[in-house]
Amino acid sequence: MTLESGFKKVKKIGLVVKTDPKAQEKANRLESWLRSKKTRIIRRTPDFSYRVPSTKRRKYVPEDVFCVIVLGGDGTFLSAVNWIGEQNIPILGVKFGDVGFLAETAEENLFHAAEMILKENFTLTTRMRLQVDIKRNHRSLVHETVLNDVVVNKGALARLAHIKTFIDDAYLTTYSADGLIISSPTGSTAYSLAAGGPIIHPDVPAIILTPICPFTLTNRPLIIPDSSKIEIQLGKKGSDIMLTFDGQAGIKIKEQDRVTVRKSDHPLSLITLPGHQYYDVLKTKLRWSGGRI
């Protein structure tokens, strides 16, 4: 999707910077440069303290922000996405350190990327997000939107988790495993990939279910249409089981909880600069064909 002519003009930019001296110093220079271009800055350091999600309203980035620029890795990027919430505010990732799948450009190209933003010389691409709802005793307990994944995880000393899984109200199976990952195509290169899941291009309309160390070896990753509604609940005697959201938040779930996952009505808008390709990041990160990090 190209930048629409009716899109709000550049007046205010959000800046999320990881707690790294090099990134902070570069952000200071960027902030000074942007202010010299008559641009207002809202700066934020990611909060990596593990939070418990709820239905209560959190503080989000102001709606009049033109875009959010992220200096850091994938964790910082996901923190910024959480700050954006369900608003249609574009985001640009600038990597510092190891290559991240979510970064659009590298630190040495930061000022060039910022200039492209001020000139509105970029395109917008959308990434599907997942909406996660938890009901307990018919009461809404949690409403979260995630970019990568929602994960059912058993505690370190807990026995196998028994996860009853339904798709579009039809019973699929009960996974007996260390956990279950439900991911978007963007999240297919995160935890799901480490657990043996497939790589899905971000434009493919799909949701991936990847069991973690399943007891039954025939339980393999499953790709389903993005129109599907997934519902999970714990089997009997389920204890010490966590549900986590993009690795940013988590909550203990109980047998009576009903967890529903579906495609969100609020995709994320990514800023894409001219000449950048998804496959370039993929080849570099996975070291294909001699690619280096």
Tokens encoding 119 = 């000139």
Flag the least confident range among 39-53, 144-158, 168-182, 216-230: 39-53
Look up tokens 């690795």; give the residue: 247
pLDDT greater than 50 at residue 5:
no
Task: Assign 63 to helix, strand or coil.
Answer: coil
pLDDT greater than 60 at residue 2:
no
Contact 54, 78 (CB under 8 A): no
* Percentage above 90 pLDDT, the chain: 73
Closest CA to 72 of 98, 38, 109, 37: 98
Closest CA to 76 of 239, 247, 261, 216: 247
pLDDT greater than 60 at residue 292:
no
pTM summary value:
0.90
In terms of average pLDDT, the best of 54-58, 60-64, 97-101, 148-152 is 148-152
Q: Can you state the percent helix, strand and coil of the chain, rounding each to 5? A: 20, 35, 45
Packing angle between helix 21-36 and helix 110-118, nearest 10 degrees? 30
Q: Could you give the CA distance from residue 43 to residue 27 in angstroms, rounded to a whole number?
A: 9
Interval 217-272: pLDDT, tens: 889 999 999 999 999 999 877 678 999 999 999 999 999 999 999 999 999 999 99
Catalytic center residues = 74
Look up tokens 């009576």; give the residue: 256
